[in-house]
Amino acid sequence: MLGAIGGEGFNNPDFPFLLLLKCFLIQKVFGFNRFVSWPVHWSSKIKAPKKIHRGNRCPGLSMGCYIDGRNGIVFGSNVWIGPRVSVISMNHDPSDYHSYIESGPVIIGENCWLGANAVILPEVELGEHTVVAAGAVVTKSFKEGNQVLAGVPARVVKKLDRYRVKP
């Protein structure tokens, strides 16, 4: 589907503009994620966008994301989110499925990358430059940073050098 935008997809220099234009039209004209103030892919779902600090990127711009900000989510700058990623800040009460548990926000540090199908659960905090592998389920905080997380539940599988910022 994305390759159809502009004919050449990611190799097309107009791709970001065309994707943003298409997202804008679908959001504002057709009403998908109408109340989200940043561009969101039409197949993504954003809950409580006013409680989400998005950093300098657009969470939910990849297809099929589910971002539930009811307890708050803080994305640092330069956080990349792959397709079908779920960031869930609120959970059901296990004693009463009609109730939710209020808790602290999910915090994603700067220069993080959440791979395809990754799941970040309530109250998780990820340190700077944390890469979450595709399909990982992060159930607890990893505040140290400069690391790769993988598995179910996620664990540190590799240490990384500090993130290189282009001058």
- Whole-angstrom Cα distance, residue 141 to residue 118? 15
Q: Which two tokens stand for residue 95?
A: 């004693």
Please pick, among 41, 53, 92, 98, the residue that the annotation labels catalytic. 92
Residues 6+ apart with CB under 8 A from 31: none
Contact 46, 27 (CB under 8 A): no
- CA dihedral (31, 4, 131, 87) in degrees, to 10, reads 20
Q: Residue 53 catalytic? A: no
Give catalytic residue positions: 92
